[in-house]
């Protein structure tokens, strides 16, 4: 199947499969213009050729015929705009030269069409399993004065509604240049009414859905914290004003990167909208010497004409099947219990064994020993960096705990925070220079810890060696990789003064190199990402670790918002979700075990509590939850996910999982607050086969069309706040 064509006559590139088209034009045989991204068209006949019109105060580039005023870079939609030749909008690329100028003029040189999708060296990226499933267009632009080559890559899959983009810059000149900005993707959309959706948040309240009208000016969604952050996920969507979960158009843009990012939306004076994504230019400068190159991270562009659910389902499919890797990307994820909220730092061998005993009796499959097992770690002020087991706490050591857990037919997991160090640690006392710090300035603390300079290979190798010792001597099945602060005093002693703008990105590249090493060497281990919960929940990390801890906030009511927002981009199989004790440790709210279980089952399921403190009745409920999840685990972790009712718009929430042949579905309904003499509510399902007949919860039977279009009443006899209901929907076999 041919996915990419070039029309020589109209000078147009057309990337198309059965569902989407992405069209790029050549203006004046020099400048790349963005023509279209949307629903597939069979053949493009030049319908979107930009009208030639004289716009006041919009300059005309040199080299055009004398007195021609009807062409300006200030107005045409572009693919990779630079600054200084008449386009006054935000640039996608800025290069500082020896003479102090940051003006470039990248013009078209050539193109190449490649079967499959090339890998990105040193960066996480989507991949193909055979060259037949995708094609890649590489367009080469050249700045002839500087002898710089900019290669723009566009990959289209045969059966997915996504375009994958990246930028690659080569210095073929004789002098070094400084990259001040290089976007991974940029495109300009024609005048139309649009709304911007982003995932804003904070620690313990990550990825809230924020929606606003796109107006003239610039809106930037970014992180300057050194990680993708709790505050601003590297994702945005541009949608038509009436787009909802099931109808309307949406363009989703996600960056496969775990560091400082910038997602930029600008509406110009003619109501055209520029959207781009890439490394945040704030605090970024990269020296590119002659013969050197720079690879940008990858960006994913998704189009949907079936609302936000359609956009999300494409993202889920791509991230789950063509970004996540390894044996666990499709495997059943175990039900775990973590001792953190049960004990915090106050534990010993007997306490841990008691939790393991209780968990094993309930059918839980994985025990995770959290923070506090190493060094002199009695609280969060000491010990980080000293990755040696504390035998004063664990009399038989980690191997003894691991053996005990495995003896209960459970798997054993362990917590690490490899990127951090406490001042009160042997590592810091021996190597104070290992921490990020600026000469002659004090170092900020956060959670009483410093950040190790992972831009330095010697530091990474030191930590890897200490982790290897543990991983090679203890039978470990799961690792939770945590990161509990943002980066400050970002300066590296191994780089010169002119290269300090590289530290943020070199830190991320160093981290990726370390993750690649460890997850490849120990590919039998299930790795889970964490950063104070969801502070580094991004596509980049998903490449190395198939799941992440969604939030430190385990309150079921708060988790409705967090998990609903997270699902806008991320698959359910990537979302760690646990039941914890009440009153909840973050909100002090008291909720029933049923709603806590139903919310947690809508992710990778687990518990964070001490089962020894539970009542007999609660233990029975947990056993039932565990059994239900095991029975339906494949559907809940990998089924097609539909959001039905938004907790951001109502005091209710609902979502649904459907298996591939539509023979089974499971829906969850949640009510936050009861109403006095309130209205009766119905629930309409989605994704079923309208020709099939289904039984709901083993009782009444309905047609698939009836369940989707008519719906059923919710239980009118639900009592009180914080209620939930499950609906198991099974096809009735004739």
Residues identified as active-site: 482, 552
Count other C-beta atoms under 10 Å from residue 313's C-beta. Answer: 19
What Cα–Cα distance (Å) separates residue 162 from each residue in 41, 133, 276, 581? 15, 13, 16, 41
Distance CA 440, CA 438 (A): 6
Q: What number of CA atoms fall less than 13 Å from residue 172's CA on the CB side?
A: 13
Taking the CA atoms of 661, 662, 663 and 666 in sequence, report the sign of the dihedral they define: positive
φ, ψ (nearest 5 deg) of residue 199: -115, 85
Contact indicator for 281, 183 with CB cutoff of 8 Å? no
User: β-strand 420-421 against 450-451: which pairing, if any?
Assistant: antiparallel
User: Cα 288 to chain center, whole Å?
Assistant: 29
Token pair of 272 as six digits: 């055209």
3-state SS string for 433-466: HHECCCCCCCCCCECCEEEECCCCHHHHHHHHHH
Kind and range of the H or E run holding 233 = strand 232-239
Q: What is the dihedral of CA 684, 688, 690, 691, to 10 degrees?
A: -140
Q: What number of CA atoms fall less than 13 Å from residue 404's CA on the CB side?
A: 22
Kind and range of the H or E run holding 626 = helix 616-638
Helix axes 349-361, 397-407, angle to 10 degrees: 20
Distance CA 376, CA 51 (A): 70
Token pair of 540 as six digits: 């980049």
Residue 110 β-bridge partners:
140
- Helix, strand, coil share (%) of the chain residues, nearest 5: 20, 35, 45
Count other C-beta atoms under 10 Å from residue 131's C-beta. Answer: 12
CA R_g for the chain: 27
Count other C-beta atoms under 10 Å from residue 312's C-beta. Answer: 25
Contact indicator for 603, 244 with CB cutoff of 8 Å? no
């Amino acid at each position: 199947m041919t996915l990419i064509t070039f029309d020589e006559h109209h000078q147009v590139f057309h990337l198309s499969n059965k569902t989407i088209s992405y069209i790029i034009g050549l203006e004046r045989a020099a400048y790349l213009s963005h023509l279209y991204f949307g629903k597939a068209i069979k053949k493009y006949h030049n319908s979107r050729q930009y009208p030639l019109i004289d716009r006041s105060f919009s300059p005309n580039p040199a080299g055009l015929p004398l007195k021609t005023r009807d062409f300006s870079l200030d107005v045409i939609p572009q693919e990779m705009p630079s600054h200084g030749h008449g386009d006054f909008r935000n640039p996608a690329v800025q290069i500082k030269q020896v003479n102090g100028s940051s003006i470039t003029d990248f013009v078209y040189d050539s193109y190449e069409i490649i079967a499959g999708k090339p890998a990105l060296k040193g960066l996480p990226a989507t991949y193909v399993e055979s060259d037949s499933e995708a094609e890649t267009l590489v367009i080469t632009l050249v700045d002839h004065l500087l002898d710089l080559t900019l290669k723009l890559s566009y990959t289209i899959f045969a059966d997915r509604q996504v375009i994958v983009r990246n930028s690659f810059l080569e210095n073929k000149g004789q002098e070094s240049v400084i990259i001040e900005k290089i976007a991974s993707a940029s495109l300009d959309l024609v005048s139309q009414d649009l709304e911007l959706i982003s995932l804003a948040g904070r620690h313990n309240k990550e990825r809230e859905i924020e929606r606003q009208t796109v107006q003239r000016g610039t809106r930037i969604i970014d992180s300057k914290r050194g990680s993708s952050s709790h505050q601003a996920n590297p994702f945005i969507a541009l949608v038509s004003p009436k787009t909802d979960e099931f109808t309307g158009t949406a363009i989703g843009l996600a960056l496969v990167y775990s560091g400082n990012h910038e997602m930029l939306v600008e509406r110009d004076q003619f109501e055209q909208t520029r959207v781009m994504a890439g490394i945040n230019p704030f605090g970024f400068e990269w020296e590119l010497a002659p013969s050197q190159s720079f690879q940008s991270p990858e960006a994913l562009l998704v189009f949907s004409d079936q609302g936000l659910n359609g956009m999300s389902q494409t993202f889920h499919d791509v991230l789950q099947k063509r970004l996540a890797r390894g044996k666990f990307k499709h495997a059943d994820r175990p039900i775990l219990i973590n001792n953190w909220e049960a004990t915090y730092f106050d534990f010993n061998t007997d306490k841990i064994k008691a939790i393991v005993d209780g968990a094993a009796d309930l059918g839980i499959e994985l025990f995770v020993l959290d923070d506090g097992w190493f060094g002199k770690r009695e609280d969060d002020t000491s010990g980080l960096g000293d990755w040696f087991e504390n035998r004063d706490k664990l009399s038989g050591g980690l191997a003894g705990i691991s053996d005990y857990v495995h003896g209960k037919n459970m798997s054993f997991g362990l917590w690490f925070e490899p990127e951090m160090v406490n001042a009160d640690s042997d590592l810091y006392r021996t190597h104070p220079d290992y921490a990020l710090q600026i000469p002659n300035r004090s170092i900020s603390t956060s959670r009483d810890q410093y950040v190790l300079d992972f831009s330095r290979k010697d530091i990474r190798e030191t930590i890897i060696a200490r982790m290897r010792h543990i991983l090679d001597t203890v039978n470990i099945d799961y690792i939770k990789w945590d990161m509990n602060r943002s980066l400050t005093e970002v300066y590296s002693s191994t780089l010169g003064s002119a290269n300090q703008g590289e530290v943020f990105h070199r830190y991320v590249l160093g981290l990726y190199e370390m993750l690649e090493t460890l997850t490849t060497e120990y590919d039998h281990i299930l790795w889970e990402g964490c950063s104070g919960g969801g502070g580094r929940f991004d596509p980049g990390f998903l490449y190395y670790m198939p799941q992440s801890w969604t939030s430190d906030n385990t309150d079921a009511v708060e988790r409705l918002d967090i998990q609903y927002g997270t699902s806008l981009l991320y698959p359910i199989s990537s979302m760690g979700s646990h039941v914890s004790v009440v009153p909840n440790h973050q909100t002090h709210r008291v909720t029933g075990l049923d709603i806590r279980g139903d919310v947690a089952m809508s992710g990778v399921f687990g518990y964070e509590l001490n089962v020894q403190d539970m009542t007999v009745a609660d233990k029975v409920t947990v056993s039932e939850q565990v059994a239900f999840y095991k029975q339906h685990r494949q559907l809940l972790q990998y089924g097609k996910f539909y959001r039905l009712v938004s907790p951001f718009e109502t005091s209710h929430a609902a979502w649904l999982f459907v298996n591939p042949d539509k023979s089974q579905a499971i829906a969850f309904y949640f009510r936050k607050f009861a109403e006095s003499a309130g209205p009766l509510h119905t629930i309409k399902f989605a994704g079923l086969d309208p020709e099939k007949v289904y039984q709901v919860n083993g009782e009444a039977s309905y047609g698939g069309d009836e369940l989707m279009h008519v719906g059923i009443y919710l239980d009118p006899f639900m009592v009180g706040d914080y209620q939930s209901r499950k609906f198991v929907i099974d096809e009735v076999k004739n």
